[in-house]
Amino acid sequence: MKNKKNFLAVDIIYLCLMALGPLFLIVLKVLFTPHSDDISISGALVYFTVKLPLSDLPITETQVNSWVVIWSIFWLCKYITHGISVHIELKRQLVAEWVVEKTKNLVKGNMGDYFTDFAPFVAAIMGLSAFSSLLTLIGLYPPTSDINTTGGWAILVFFLITYYKFKCGPIHYIKSFGDPVPFLAPLNIISEFATPVSMAFRHYGNVLSGSVISVLVAVALQGLSSLIFGKLPGLLGNIPFLQIGIPAVLSVYFDIFSGLLQAFIFAMLTMLYIAGAFPAEDYAKKKAKRQNKQLNKENI
Amino acid sequence: MLELAIGIILGGCALGAGAAMIAGIGPGIGEGNAVAKACEAIGRQPECKGDVTTTMLMGCAVAETTGLYALVIAILLIFVAPGRFVDILMNAIGK
């Protein structure tokens, strides 16, 4: 019995630590947001600036929010995997197994057997992106609507792509630009750099456009309701009736559907680009050649 | 005179943002085609609905990219560019 109590206590600690992050963000946002009556669409707030010799490093809302997302995901994972055993006792173990199995199957299906180890990376990108976009549900600034966040992930993916292109040696890498005809090399180089740019802009544009359109619709509804209900007497005329409920419908699309879809698409494109960059056939040939050489040496 | 110059800057930015969003036509047509074909495919083979939907969403998202470039440019033109251009104008005049 005592054991069970301890177990419950640890559970509650994990959940509290998880919820502490968003609460901290809300408090921070309330403290730092300058008071203004008119609705404005602005970028991330700068919380404070770290003085560095080369240039100042501003700690913005984007950074703090993404750190908190990481923190919350960590404790969520701790909670989900708490008390897992061979004989399933808790429902949450099924959730954890479902997540792991789904990502493994997704990675295996899209990238092939060579990249099975990529499942944690893909799951991390997907989870970070999805939970970052979902921060809008509690009125916080989503880190993904800042080009710096998605740009950083895209650069990471770009490095991975280049790494796997280098798998067959630098000569093969340079040769791959002259494909299919050598004089198309400039276009190939441009498309090489267009990949991370388009990935970053796709995710950032979707999330940002969602929040901008939501704000615009909310302002328009406010104006419309003051036009229609403004003649009502007293305080009743000040209540924007049309703003109740209608923006929530938009939020279902822009915040939940669009955010989750973009997370899925970012992870999917990551997988496809990395798997596409890896010259599987040539790599297999090279490996076979090396093995043959070794066998010949041993025979001699 | 300065008011006129700033007015031209603001008007030019707004017109540019509107013109940039003409690019929304392309993804609209493209995604419409993709969804139409996906519906046909599901009608022909209802058992592969999941795969078709996933692939369609992927394709839609990729086709949407050009529209999003236009959107980013429009947003920059509306919210960022006027301030920058007015600053440049002020610097050029020397105020």
Of A299, A198, A207, the closest CA to residue A259 belongs to: A207
- Taking CB atoms and an 8 Å limit, are A261 and B61 in contact across chains? yes
- Interval B7-31 mean pLDDT: 92
What percent of chain B is predicted at pLDDT more than 90? Answer: 41
Q: How far is CA A63 from CA A68, A211, B80, in A?
A: 9, 19, 21
Q: How far is CA B1 from CA B7, B12, B82, in A?
A: 10, 16, 17
Q: What pLDDT shows up at residue A156?
A: 93
Q: What pLDDT shows up at residue A250?
A: 83
| Residues of chain B contacting A204 with CB distance shorter than 8 Å | 72
Number of residues that this document lists for chain A: 300
- Taking CB atoms and an 8 Å limit, are B75 and A212 in contact across chains? yes
| Residues of chain B contacting A205 with CB distance shorter than 8 Å | 68-69, 71-72
Q: Which residue type sits at B50?
A: G
Q: Which of A236-245, B7-16, B58-67 has the highest mean pLDDT?
A: B7-16
pLDDT, averaged in runs of 10, over chain A (300 residues): 80 90 88 70 76 84 90 92 83 90 89 86 91 87 88 93 87 82 85 88 87 84 81 73 80 86 89 85 85 85
Q: Over 90: is that where the pLDDT of B43 sits? A: yes
Of A165, A156, A169, the closest CA to residue A269 belongs to: A156
A→B contacts (Cβ < 8 Å), by residue, are 41, 198, 201-202, 204-206, 208-209, 212, 261-262, 264-265, 268-269
Of A157, A135, A106, A104, the closest CA to residue A266 belongs to: A157
Q: What pLDDT shows up at residue A39?
A: 61
Q: How far apart are CA A53 and CA A55, in angstroms?
A: 6
- Taking CB atoms and an 8 Å limit, are A201 and B75 in contact across chains? no
Count of domains forming chain B: 1
Question: Quick one: tokens of B15?
Answer: 């017109």
Q: What pLDDT shows up at residue B62?
A: 81
Q: What pLDDT shows up at residue B35?
A: 93
Give domain limits for chain A.
Answer: 1-33+47-82, 87-299
Q: What pLDDT shows up at residue A44?
A: 74
Q: Which of A41, A198, A208 sits opposite B65 (nearest CB)?
A: A198
| Residues of chain A contacting B58 with CB distance shorter than 8 Å | 265, 268
- Quote the longest CA-to-CA distance of chain B: 70
Range of the domain at B12: 2-93
Q: What pLDDT shows up at residue A155?
A: 94
Residue scoring higher pLDDT (B29 or A56)? B29
CA distance B62 to chain A (A): 8
Q: What pLDDT shows up at residue B16?
A: 93
Q: What pLDDT shows up at residue A186?
A: 86
Closest residue in A to B69 (Cα–Cα) = A201
CA distance B17 to chain A (A): 14
Three-class secondary structure of residue A21 per DSSP: helix
CATH at B79: 1.20.20.10
| Residues of chain B contacting A198 with CB distance shorter than 8 Å | 65
Q: Over 90: is that where the pLDDT of B14 sits? A: yes
Q: Which of A202, A209, A212 sits opposite B61 (nearest CB)?
A: A202
Q: What pLDDT shows up at residue B57?
A: 84
Q: A52 exposed, middle or buried (CB, 10 Å; 0-12, 13-18, 19+)?
A: exposed
CA distance A208 to chain B (A): 9
Q: What pLDDT shows up at residue A37?
A: 61
- Taking CB atoms and an 8 Å limit, are B75 and A208 in contact across chains? yes
Can you name the residues that pair with A58 across neighbouring β-strands?
A49
- Interval B64-68 mean pLDDT: 85
